[in-house]
Structure 1
């Protein structure tokens, strides 16, 4: 058995655009320097089964943050856990950025195979992974419009999706949420609520970034702002890296958080991917339970 397994999500954007064969040709010479690797090109359910049965040194993912989360969910409880190497083949690449990976996939692979390992926190969210953060409210509704825009088959559909995103932005308003924070019940009204796997301590452009991945804390951010101005302020805070100390958030740390809306199904994103249809989302911390490359020196 090869010591390394590359899981390529054939449905991901980069794999579709570049071709799985082309990606494999780029990665294979690097793998050969570290004992060789095997490749599995499939959709996510088949990749999960391959990850569960693999007994080698590392599992390397080619796909976006959703692919990374799915494979992480299959690994984090294993005692004989291979190292997860999530190559930056997505759009936002939230997890690779947090780990400290360069955004060139071949360079990221070479550094990861050369590096030691570390344990980072894993948050379970209704049976799947929350590796970075979840958003509720205005940000989540705008993200839904973004996905509609990406998949729009015609110009008219794209125009409709763009107008919907603008309307969501202008119509930013407070929503009542029921929260259970380590067993304590609360009801809050907020236009934006975030559940993060660790503190959001910086930013790169408008992408939030976490510098500490092993502190064993879920961080809940409840926006105090109302309307469009509050939303714009949070975007500015993400850009300037002032998110975690913003006076416009109530900041709470916990081991378990349950979020539900008073009257409707939730609109949310998990690690940047929109979701809906859930009445409640339960987030549970599993501290230092996922093995990844230790790239902290490379990051510095």
Structure 2
């Protein structure tokens, strides 16, 4: 896909003021609007903390902007992606969260000032989206002990002191040590159910890479497959081994982990509801959980290198010129 196919002109910015690194923005939402307009874009910056996020999503969906810009973490990007897929708009991402997994996958600068310089050079990339019971996700949905660990992390949002970090690590290791097995019925593409006893299970949109120092990174976002990661006998010592393997880029062959692929998955449980972590956000979902992949359903702006495209010849002009 050539970068000249699609242009961002008018941006509807969904700014999440609670995101992990939103404090690194220089100034107020008005300053962000001014900076975007100085770069040649028309921008509406929605930082309305009095409205629910669902209301703000509806406003973005109904706007005449061609692009929804998610200014926040991975949860904000997922919400904005749902708007983009529903409305046919483009998605752009200003990574302001803690993990910024999608932003890293797209090759985006994590510093807002550098990102503003990078913005005119971004090119469109068509990527897959996952769905669970109709809900869109971009990275993964996890069940088991993972949502509880994510909830613990959420309580420390905004705290970067060493005491808070050590407290979280202690909490995470205790949750892993106490992790219980639970039974699920898992049905993949062939329609034959299989009973598993697991401690945790994640369904990912495409497959994670194995590279030195890369944590849950994906270079391929359009392979058209879900990847199932199942942990069935993880101990605290095993979690340290697995964490080291992730850092070293040799983790998907770990003895505690099973990896499978599918186009669709259904998970049944004796529980009517399960806690899940959906792209970093913890919530409760009704069972069964039905997962599917929608190939190349979302167009998102990415760095040229991450999109496999040459950089624009004249970025400043390309950002504002009609296709």
TM-score, L = length of structure 1: 0.83
Q: How many matched pairs? A: 292
1:116 aligns with 2:123: yes
Do 1:176 and 1:261's aligned partners in 2 also have CA atoms closer than 8 Å? Answer: yes
Cα distance, 1:267–1:243 mapped onto 2, change above 3 Å: farther
Partner in structure 1 of residue 107 of structure 2: 100
Question: 1:224 deviation in Å?
Answer: 4.5
Report the 3-state secondary structure (helix = DSSP H, G, I; strand = E; otherwise coil) of the residue aligned with 1:196: strand
- The one-character-per-residue Cα deviations of 1:43-102 (angstroms, maximum 9, x if unpaired) are 422221122123333221112211111111122144xx2321111111111111111111
Gaps of 5+ in 2: 1-8, 160-164, 309-323
Do 1:48 and 1:70's aligned partners in 2 also have CA atoms closer than 8 Å? Answer: yes
Cα distance, 1:151–1:35 mapped onto 2, change above 3 Å: closer
Cα distance, 1:170–1:291 mapped onto 2, change above 3 Å: same
Partner in structure 2 of residue 250 of structure 1: 258
Report the 3-state secondary structure (helix = DSSP H, G, I; strand = E; otherwise coil) of the residue aligned with 1:283: strand
Which of 51, 65, 74 is equivalent to 2:74? 65
Gaps of 5+ in 1: 153-157
Q: CA RMSD in A?
A: 3.2
1:41 aligns with 2:66: no
Aligned mates of 1:171, 1:180 — CA distance in 2: 27
Aligned mates of 2:193, 2:242 — CA distance in 1: 26
Do 2:184 and 2:269's aligned partners in 1 also have CA atoms closer than 8 Å? Answer: yes
Which of 270, 275, 280 is equivalent to 2:278? 270
Aligned mates of 1:32, 1:8 — CA distance in 2: 18
Report the 3-state secondary structure (helix = DSSP H, G, I; strand = E; otherwise coil) of the residue aligned with 2:208: coil
Do 1:260 and 1:266's aligned partners in 2 also have CA atoms closer than 8 Å? Answer: no
Aligned mates of 2:245, 2:33 — CA distance in 1: 37
Identify the structure with bigger relative contact order (alpha carbons < 8 Å, sequence gap 6+).
Answer: 2
Do 1:55 and 1:82's aligned partners in 2 also have CA atoms closer than 8 Å? Answer: no
Partner in structure 2 of residue 155 of structure 1: none
- The one-character-per-residue Cα deviations of 1:148-207 (angstroms, maximum 9, x if unpaired) are 45499xxxxx99988754431221333222212123311111222111000011468583
Aligned mates of 1:104, 1:151 — CA distance in 2: 17
Aligned mates of 2:33, 2:42 — CA distance in 1: 10
Report the 3-state secondary structure (helix = DSSP H, G, I; strand = E; otherwise coil) of the residue aligned with 2:28: helix
**1:81-230 alignment runs, 5 A limit:** 81-150=88-157, 165-182=172-189, 183-202=191-210, 207-230=215-238
Question: 1:9 deviation in Å?
Answer: 2.5
Aligned mates of 1:104, 1:159 — CA distance in 2: 26
Aligned mates of 1:88, 1:44 — CA distance in 2: 18
Partner in structure 2 of residue 239 of structure 1: 247
- The one-character-per-residue Cα deviations of 1:275-295 (angstroms, maximum 9, x if unpaired) are 235333222211101111132
Which of 27, 30, 38 is equivalent to 1:32? 38
Report the 3-state secondary structure (helix = DSSP H, G, I; strand = E; otherwise coil) of the residue aligned with 1:201: coil
Question: 1:3 deviation in Å?
Answer: 1.8
TM-score, L = length of structure 2: 0.77
Aligned mates of 2:178, 2:25 — CA distance in 1: 41
Aligned mates of 1:251, 1:207 — CA distance in 2: 17
Do 2:199 and 2:233's aligned partners in 1 also have CA atoms closer than 8 Å? Answer: yes
Aligned mates of 1:100, 1:216 — CA distance in 2: 20
Cα distance, 1:54–1:21 mapped onto 2, change above 3 Å: farther
Cα distance, 1:89–1:247 mapped onto 2, change above 3 Å: same
